[in-house]
Amino acid sequence: MSGFSQFGNDLYTGVRSIDFIARRKLWFAISAVAIVLSIVLPLARGGFAFGIEFTGGSEFQLSQVDTSDQAKAEDAVTAVAPEAAPRVTVIGGDGLRVQTDQLDGDQSTAVRNSLAEAYGVPANDVAESFVGPSWGGEITNQAIRALLIFLALAFVFMALYFRTWKMSIAAMVSLIHDLIITAGIYGAVGFEVTPAAVIGFLTILGYSLYDTVVVFDKIRENTSGSESSSGRTFAESVNLAVNQTLVRSINTAVVAVLPVASILFVGSVLLGAGTLRDISLALFIGTLLGTYSTIFVAAPLYSMLREREPRIKAESARALDLRQKSTVAQSASMGGAE
Amino acid sequence: MANTPTPVRKARRSLIALAAIFLVLMGAIQIGVSFFGASWTPKLALDLEGGTEIRLAPVVQGADQVTSEQLNQAVSIIRDRVDAAGVSEAEIRTEGSNNIVVSIPGQPSEETLQRIEASAKLDFRPVLLAGVPSTSSTGTPTPAPTESTEATPAPSPTDASDLTQVTPELQTAFDNFDCASVDETVVPDPNKPFLTCETNGSAKYLLGPVELSGENLSNATAGQETTQNGAATGSWAVNLQFNQQGTEQFAAITSRLTGLQAPRNQFAMVLDNRVLLAPTSQVVITDGRAAITGGSITQDTAKTLADQLKYGALPVSFAVQSNESISATLGSEQLANGLLAGLIGLILVVVYSLIQYRALGLVTVASLVIAGGLTYLIVTLLGWRLDFRLSLAGVAGLIIAIGVTADSFIVYFERIKDELRDGRGLSGAVEAGWKRALRTILASDAINFLAAFILILLAVGNVRGFAVTLGLTTIIDLIVVALFTHPVLQLLSRTRFFGEGHPASGLDPRALGAVYRGRAQFREPVAIAKRNSGSKTEAQKRQTIAERKAAEARGTATATLERPTTTDQSAATPTTKSAKPTQARGKKGTRS
């Protein structure tokens, strides 16, 4: 433990420094590859796997069944509704989920009774749902509208708070980076996209920006003085801020991921497919990505955007110049002492 | 200690404020429980409680939009229907700008579903017979003697009010008619007589065929009745306005009915197969403007009636968009597992905080407990006041909030550590760290709250429930960190254990590499005035240490020349090779 806290001290004082900013070409290249893969792989797989909330269909959930024999369910469905194309999933230890194409009222009741009979559970324990094809689309449309408005407002808020729109740009780019890659992972692996997963995506927005704001606040603090007087170039100031907040970033990521991981675990192992798993899966990926992108995308990008400003360029040059002289002076005096 | 007592007093005040918030919330819920049937537990949504959720979307012509007024009216019509179906605890609400969501415990019967889906239909029918409903079919005051009327006129009815329509069977049916048997879901034949009751069950009617359909009613408003010279009489009226076709039809009806014997001079306005009102026609109305007045019409009933007539007449029908049902067993299973996930998550966070922050981790744990308590109370209160129901997505939001809330403490603690590294005393570090941390926490929470707020406004369904919990916990996070975590640290920083930086306190300045100047004595706390001197000097002050360290890292450290710094000047004489020692010795202290 003292190792970690020592690590924190060293990062804070600058004894140890990780070159997040200087090696930005490498990070950008990694992200670019990830983004390309996130677009290409889902396309190669044939697009996203949408849940029935998007495609429309009927769903039956059985709980506390004695056997999780899936063939039984398929037979029970096709016996009364031959066209239904049942997809059976085991949920938790003793539950089953049967999804079919959309059935009408009578068929639906028939399937429900048939399933109840096949597994020997009371018909009341078979939950029956159906979703029209427009429902998931409506959720998503609303979500996308909310997303755009949020991005616009967050952009303005950050520009006002940090007094520079370049921080807003950097934060937005890293946010979009997170969203694309999370969606890419979903598409590439074939995780089902459900409204719960959409909720997860939306939360990533909040988290990704939240994390970026914390680090940017430190950057703002470190770069608010003039560069020449601090003796650091702009990029070095930014890098120091990222290093100084690195312990926080790690701690926060761990603390944020722990509950998400526990939902993911409980959701997928104990409950199986469902709301909890879908939300937490998106969040799990998104939280890790959000932390990564703040450090490896947002901060280097911000530094890149600002470094080229003439004033900052001049200050950074002066800082380098001063340092050169002082190093010379130091080595001279060292030489004398030795 | 030499510190001014102000922080302590402030801390106490904050804690008292927090206690007051708790007491107020608990008091409010207690009042709700005692007098208004509220409960001490949060209300659960259907996915946790079991039940059915039916989502209805309006079917509109072309690009028409449904107004929120129409939607609200539809909600109240559907509520009436569901209540009439005898379904208890049904919840009907609007969702987004379009949809209506009906939540029903358990599985609804096919009949209930039809009842909900059926679109409202308003018809005008002439009254043939009227009576007071009663279980024993005595005292129907004004039925015309059937046999005599039937005997004399022509066998086929001459008009809609013709009593020849009342066959002996209908008469018997009418005599024995029980208002409980009115069924809103059947669509009666518009050309045949129809038996029904007034909405409140106060009268039963045998009605003639439909003579005017609700579509022809263009407007209905409530207003004060006026005399001919425009003075308000003080009594209320429902004003009807018909379109052209309606005007003609209504003129025909009134000209026939006016002067007929009661109850045949009444026309009934039938909504969802029940009679809203059956006013007596007193004058022939040819201009399509009618006013319904009378003793039973008050300001409130006039408004309700006008709305019912107006919207009941609108051709908005609803289609079931989704119908999700969750069995009670599955619901409780989901809740149990959701809570289990929360518990595991909480334990993991607690363990990690304790490892990472030692005794300070206990402050995190206590803060999380406080936040949890506040959240529970507020969710319970919202359940009672605003009918907010906790869904599985909402539970997920709460669990995720553990992380966000804990992050505020992390930001704060790391700031305190930063201040300690710069050599402040603990009390000073707590104050200075708080100022800086609060800024960051406010900015980042604002982003979170913005996200939640926009989702609450725009999103639908599950997304919304999730956003509510997210926004709620963001606010609670601020309350807890300001009114609990910070004051507690202010107080703890004055204890020996923390103040002297016990290794297990998590705030050991030696472990943090602060300048060590002898046993339990560090650099004097930086004066408050200096702390306020702005971030520029802060940056410079920090930079000096960092830069020195950076210089060491670059390799000049082999023969370190400690550059004298503004704050370090009093430190052990930084002459030559022993210049680094202050730092090194400090670190050794903890490593051992």
pLDDT surpassing 90 at residue A170: yes
Tokens encoding A215: 């680090």
A129 has a pLDDT exceeding 80 = no
Instruction: Tell me which residue in B334, B410, B467 faces A248 most closely, judged by beta carbons.
Output: B410
What CA–CA distance (Å, rounded) separates A135 from A189?
Answer: 24
Contact status, residue B157 vs residue B167, Cβ threshold 8 Å? no
A71 contacts: CB under 8 Å, gap ≥ 6: none
> Which residue of A266, A315, A334 is the best one to mutate when testing the B interface, meaning the one whose CB has the most B CBs within 10 A?
A266
> Looking at the DSSP assignment, which residues form a beta bridge with residue B226?
B232
B491 CA to chain A: closest CA distance, Å?
Answer: 24
Please answer yes or no on whether B459 and A143 come within 8 Å at the CB atom.
yes
Within 8 A by CB and 6+ apart from A128, the residues are A58, A59, A60, A108, A109, A112, B107, B323, B325
> Cα separation of B201 and A17, whole Å?
82
Verify whether the Cβ–Cβ distance B330 to A95 is below 8 Å: yes
pLDDT in tens, A6-45: 777 777 766 777 888 888 899 999 999 999 999 988 888 8
Mutation pick from B322, B445, B533 vs chain A, by most beta carbons of A within 10 Å, is B322
Q: Show residues of chain B in contact with A210, CB under 8 Å.
A: 404, 407, 444-445, 447-448
What percent of chain A is predicted at pLDDT more than 90? 10
CA-to-CA dists, residue B486 to B12, B446, B451, B480, B526, angstroms: 11, 19, 26, 9, 19
Q: Identify all chain A residues contacting B345, using CB atoms and an 8 Å cutoff.
A: 258-263
Beta-carbon separation of B462 and A256 below 8 A: no
CATH superfamily membership of B6-43+327-411+429-490:
Multidrug efflux transporter AcrB transmembrane domain (1.20.1640.10)
Structure token pair of residue B50: 């079991």
Q: Provide the pLDDT for residue A337.
A: 42
Look up tokens 């703002």; give the residue. Answer: A220
Per-residue confidence (pLDDT) for residue B430, from 0 to 100: 86
Residue B393 and residue A1: Cβ atoms within 8 Å?
no
* Residues paired with residue B206 on neighbouring β-strands, in sequence order: B129, B195
Separation of alpha carbons B573 and B583, rounded Å: 13
Across the interface, which of A135, A217, A330 has its CB nearest the CB of B439?
Answer: A217
Q: Report residue B282 as tokens.
A: 């007193």
Cβ–Cβ gap A128/B400 under 8 Å: no
Tokens 């009439």 label which residue?
B84
CB contacts, 8 Å: A150 with chain B = 450-451, 454-455
SS3 call for B494: coil
Subunit contact A15:B552, Cβ cutoff 8 A: yes
Helix (H/G/I), strand (E/B), else coil: B365: helix
pLDDT of residue B63: 60
Domain ranges of chain A: 15-50+135-325, 57-131
- How many angstroms separate the CA of residue B418 from the nearest CA in chain A? 8
CB B444 within 8 A of CB A131: no
Over residues A313-337, the mean pLDDT reads 67
Nearest-angstrom CA–CA distance, B130 and B140:
7
**Distance in Å, alpha carbon of A223 to nearest chain B alpha carbon:** 8
Which of A157, A245, A271, A320 should be substituted to probe chain B, the one whose Cβ sees the most B Cβ atoms within 10 Å? A271
Under CATH, which number does the domain A57-131 receive? 3.30.70
Tokens 């078979």, residue?
A: A126
Chain A residues whose CB is inside 8 A of the B567 CB are none
Beta strand pairing call for B204-207 and B122-131: antiparallel
Tell me: domain A15-50+135-325, CATH 1.20.1640.10, correct?
yes
- Start-end of CATH 3.30.70.3220 domains in chain B: 53-118
Q: What is the pLDDT of residue B589?
A: 39
Question: Strands A192-193 and A95-100, how do they pair?
Answer: unpaired
Record: contact B404-A210, CB cut-off 8 A: yes
Cα-Cα end-to-end distance for chain A? 38
Concatenated DSSP letters of B108-121:
PPHHHHHHHHSPP-
Using CA atoms, how far residue A172 sits from A39, A151, B536, in Å, is: 19, 8, 28
pLDDT category at A330 given cuts 50, 70, 90 is low
**Sign (positive/negative) of CA torsion B180, B182, B184, B185?**
positive
**Beta-bridge partner residues of B522:** B516
Whether residue A265 and residue B341 make contact (CB cut-off 8 A), yes or no, is: yes
The B residues from 293 to 322 touching A (CB cutoff 8 Å) are 319-322
Nearest 5 degrees, angle CA B23-CA B373-CA B470? 120
B contact residues 325-344, partner A, Cβ 8 Å cutoff: 325-327, 329-330, 333-334, 337-338, 340-342, 344
Distance from CA of A61 to the nearest CA of B (A): 8
Distance from CA of A45 to the nearest CA of B (A): 28
Closest chain A residue to the Cα of B95, Cα to Cα: A139
Ordered DSSP codes for B251-302: HHHHHHHTTSPTTTTBEEEEETTEEEE-PBP-S---SSEEEE--TT--HHHH
8 A C-beta contact, residue A39 and residue B451? no
Specify the 3-state DSSP secondary structure of A61. Answer: strand
Which of the residues B454, B560, B576 would you substitute to probe the A interface, choosing the one with the greatest number of A C-beta atoms within 10 Å? Answer: B454
Q: What is the pLDDT of residue A226?
A: 54
Distance from CA of A132 to the nearest CA of B (A): 5
Residue contacts between A and B (CB atoms, under 8 Å): 320
Q: Which of B344, B436, B559 sits opposite A334 (nearest CB)?
A: B559
- Cβ-based neighbours of A82, under 8 Å, separated by 6 or more: none
Q: Do A142 and B458 touch (CB under 8 A)?
A: yes
Q: Which helix (H) or strand (E) holds B195?
A: strand B194-197
Nearest by CB to residue A217, choosing from B325, B440, B512, is B440
Structure confidence at residue A338 as a pLDDT band (50, 70, 90): very low
State residue B325's pLDDT score. 75
- Three-state secondary structure call for residue A120: coil
B350 interfacial to chain A (CB closer than 8 Å): no
Cis status of the peptide bond prior to B263, with omega within 30 of 0: yes
Residues of chain B with pLDDT under 70: 1-5, 60-64, 81, 83-89, 96-97, 106-108, 110-111, 114-115, 117-121, 133-157, 183-187, 228, 230, 295, 311-317, 459-462, 499-592
Closest Cα of chain B to A164: distance in Å?
A: 15
Task: Please report residues of B whose CB lies closer than 8 A to that of A209.
Answer: 447, 451
Distance to chain A for B60, nearest Cα, Å: 15
Is B561 in a helix, a strand, or coil? Answer: coil
Most confident residue range from A114-128, A259-273, A292-306, B106-120: A292-306
* Comma-separated ranges of CATH 3.30.1360.200 domains in chain B: 122-317
Q: Which fold has domain B122-317?
A: Gyrase A; domain 2 (3.30.1360)
Amino acid at site B288: G
Q: Which has the higher per-residue pLDDT, B374 or A3?
A: B374
- Taking the CA of residue A33 and the nearest CA in chain B, the distance in Å comes to 29
B53-118 adopts what CATH topology? Alpha-Beta Plaits (3.30.70)
A337 contacts in chain B (CB < 8 Å): 559, 561, 576
Q: Can you give the C-alpha Rg of chain B in angstroms?
A: 38
CA-nearest residue of chain A to B319? Answer: A132
With CB atoms and an 8 Å threshold, state whether A225 touches B535. Answer: yes
